[in-house]
Amino acid sequence: MLGWEEKRALDEKYGLSLIRDALQELMGAGLIAPQPFEPVAHLILSAEREAALYIARADDIATARKEMEAGLECFLNSLRV
């Protein structure tokens, strides 16, 4: 089992860096409001992780997936200009 530091290193390499790059690109294109992207990147990564756990533990995976998809879409759309 990975420890906290190893998990964070993987998040940094494979999750946060991609999210940061996407946020910078979207802000640069004027598609989302300018804001400090680091906290937003962490929020997005956390939301994705929690959505995956929610779906994995659901009795009705198809319904859970639809619910989380709607919730994540609403959250991400709230960042738009």
What are the extents of the domains in the chain? 4-77
Residue-wise pLDDT tens digits, 49-79: 999 999 999 999 999 999 999 999 999 999 9
Measure the CA–CA gap between 28 and 30, rounded to whole angstroms. 5
Residue-wise pLDDT tens digits, 36-46: 989 999 999 99
Measure the CA–CA gap between 33 and 81, rounded to whole angstroms. 5
Measure the CA–CA gap between 24 and 2, rounded to whole angstroms. 30
- pLDDT score of 11 more than 80: no
Over residues 11-28, the mean pLDDT reads 90
Predicted model pTM: 0.83
So what's the pLDDT on residue 5? 85
